[in-house]
């Protein structure tokens, strides 16, 4: 006998709660660097620690967010202990008290390594500190998040064309290499950074509903309406010069579906009825655009570039698909989106969860094999996408 939607969702929620615990337990056991403080900078797919690896601000901020959010969901003291550890390390090692902002990375001993000011990294610090304040009620955490907002508004915001420039030197001077990673285009403005500035600001607004902050959120939403969302395809345009001229035609399916729900969260946070209405319509269009990247097995492909599909299925792309398609179903009620979300979870359980060593593998390659050479934890591999997907869906499922 076929299960009802309510029965399906009840089982789904139960599995997600168990998986959230599995994810966080893995990080509690394997990630803390007892010798040198904070968390290891790199752990390979077989759980082998690379102790000398650099430690990234994004990894540490995402750990802080994940355990703070988990504690805010379920007040387990071990979650707050992990969040406290991450907070102390970020404040001591990553925050630049002299020039403002956060460093991109430190070495394994905690000494400044790459001291550039990448706006993306600052946005995650704001996002994480805001969540941590909600968990800890430590005023200094809230104030640091506010200070980082002011730094971005003063140093990185483009007052003429709007939007945010990508990166700067330690003392906020122009920098030649603006790229977030080696695979990115070296352009002054990128969708990815703006999406996560929006995400960070939205979380900060929930604890500090400042008028100027709300105006920046509104401006960021307009950047998506006016520039990032292609009005013809409803995929995201990813790279721009300083004057908002688009560069390249790369399609990132994971970002398409991630943005579809983060934009709505931001519009709802500031209570902008016109933006909410506009985003809801765009959410369905962006979900439909993302459907073109869904494989028959329920997994979401990575990218489409220069006329060919990049046939990899990365962990974070699947996590965002879980939330984004569920969100589309909540908005319009069309069961096809719920079916996609549920089938994607079955794919994750079958192909992405590391049932032997724990956590999620980076992904599978074009041959359907685990990408063994990629990190289990690292500068980019963090507990944020998958724990957030679990938390989002647990909260959204009423059953």
3-state DSSP call for residue 303? strand
CATH number of this structure's domain 5-396: 1.50.10.10
- β-partners of residue 167 are 118
pLDDT digits (tens, 9 = 90+) for 233-256: 999 999 999 999 999 999 999 999
pLDDT band at 393 (very low <50, low <70, confident <90, very high): very high
Confidence check: pLDDT of 1 > 90: no
Distance CA 397, CA 324 (A): 14
CA atoms within 13 A on the CB side of 92: 12
Q: Burial, 89: exposed, middle or buried (Cβ in 10 Å; 0-12, 13-18, 19+)?
A: buried
pLDDT digits (tens, 9 = 90+) for 339-380: 999 999 999 999 999 999 999 999 999 999 999 999 999 999
pLDDT digits (tens, 9 = 90+) for 264-317: 999 999 999 999 999 999 999 999 999 999 999 999 999 998 889 999 999 999
Q: Which residue has the tokens 């802080």?
A: 64
Compute CA distances 28 → 124, 153, 339, 348, 359, whole Å: 21, 35, 33, 22, 11
Q: Which residue has the tokens 């959410």?
A: 283
User: C-alpha angle with apex 307: 303 to 311, nearest 5 degrees?
Assistant: 35
pLDDT digits (tens, 9 = 90+) for 139-150: 999 999 999 999
Distance CA 352, CA 399 (A): 26
Distance CA 125, CA 87 (A): 10
pLDDT band at 399 (very low <50, low <70, confident <90, very high): low
Distance CA 39, CA 3 (A): 43
Q: What share of the chain is helix, strand, coil (3-state, %, to 5)?
A: 55, 10, 35
pLDDT digits (tens, 9 = 90+) for 87-121: 999 999 999 999 999 999 999 999 999 999 999 99
Q: Minimum mean pLDDT among 56-60, 155-159, 215-219, 303-307: which range?
A: 303-307
Domains in the chain: boundaries: 5-396
pLDDT of residue 205: 98
CB neighbour list of residue 139: distance below 8 Å, 6 or more residues apart:
133
- β-partners of residue 49 are 43
- β-partners of residue 304 are 251, 309
Distance CA 201, CA 267 (A): 11
The total of other beta-carbon atoms located within 10 Å of residue 398's CB is 8
Distance CA 153, CA 387 (A): 30
pLDDT band at 126 (very low <50, low <70, confident <90, very high): very high
Q: Tokens representing 334? A: 């069309």
- H-type alpha helices, the chain: 5-30, 57-73, 77-89, 119-136, 139-155, 191-207, 211-223, 253-270, 273-291, 315-332, 335-347, 384-396
Distance CA 235, CA 2 (A): 35
Q: What is the mean pLDDT of residues 26-52?
A: 98
């Amino acid at each position: 006998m076929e299960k009802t939607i309510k029965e399906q969702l009840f089982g789904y929620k139960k599995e997600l709660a168990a998986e959230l615990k599995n994810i966080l337990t893995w990080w509690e056991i394997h990630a803390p660097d007892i010798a040198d403080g904070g968390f290891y900078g790199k752990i390979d797919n077989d759980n082998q620690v690379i102790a000398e690896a650099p430690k990234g601000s994004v990894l540490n901020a995402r750990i802080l967010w994940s355990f703070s959010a988990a504690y805010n969901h379920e007040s387990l003291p071990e979650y707050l202990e992990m969040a406290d550890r991450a907070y102390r390390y970020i404040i001591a090692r990553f925050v630049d008290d002299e020039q403002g902002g956060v460093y991109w990375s430190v070495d394994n001993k905690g000494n400044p390594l790459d001291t550039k000011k990448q706006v993306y990294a600052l946005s995650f610090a704001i996002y994480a500190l805001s969540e941590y304040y909600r968990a800890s009620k430590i005023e200094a955490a809230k104030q640091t998040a506010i200070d980082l907002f002011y730094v971005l508004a003063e140093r990185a915001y483009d007052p003429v064309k709007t939007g945010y420039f990508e990166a700067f030197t330690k003392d906020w001077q122009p920098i030649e290499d603006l790229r977030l990673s080696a695979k990115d285009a070296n352009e002054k403005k990128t969708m990815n950074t703006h999406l996560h500035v929006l995400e960070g600001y939205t979380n900060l607004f929930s604890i500090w509903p400042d008028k100027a902050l709300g105006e920046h959120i509104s401006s960021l939403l307009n950047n998506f309406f006016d520039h990032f969302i292609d009005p013809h395809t409803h995929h995201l345009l990813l790279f721009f010069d300083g004057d908002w001229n688009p560069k390249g035609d790369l399609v990132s399916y994971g970002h398409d579906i991630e943005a579809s729900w983060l934009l709505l969260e931001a519009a709802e946070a500031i209570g902008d009825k016109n933006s909410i209405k506009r985003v809801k319509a765009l959410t369905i269009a962006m979900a439909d655009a993302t459907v073109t990247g869904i494989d028959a097995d329920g997994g979401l492909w990575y990218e489409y570039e220069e006329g060919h599909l990049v046939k990899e299925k990365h962990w974070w792309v699947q996590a965002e698909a879980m939330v984004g398609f569920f969100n589309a179903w909540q908005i319009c009620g069309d069961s096809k989106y719920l079916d996609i979300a549920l089938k994607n979870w079955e794919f994750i359980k079958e192909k992405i969860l590391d049932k032997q060593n724990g956590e999620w593998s980076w992904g599978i390659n074009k041959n359907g094999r685990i990408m063994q050479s990629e990190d289990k934890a690292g500068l980019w591999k963090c507990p944020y996408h998958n724990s957030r997907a679990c938390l989002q869906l647990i909260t959204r499922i009423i059953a």
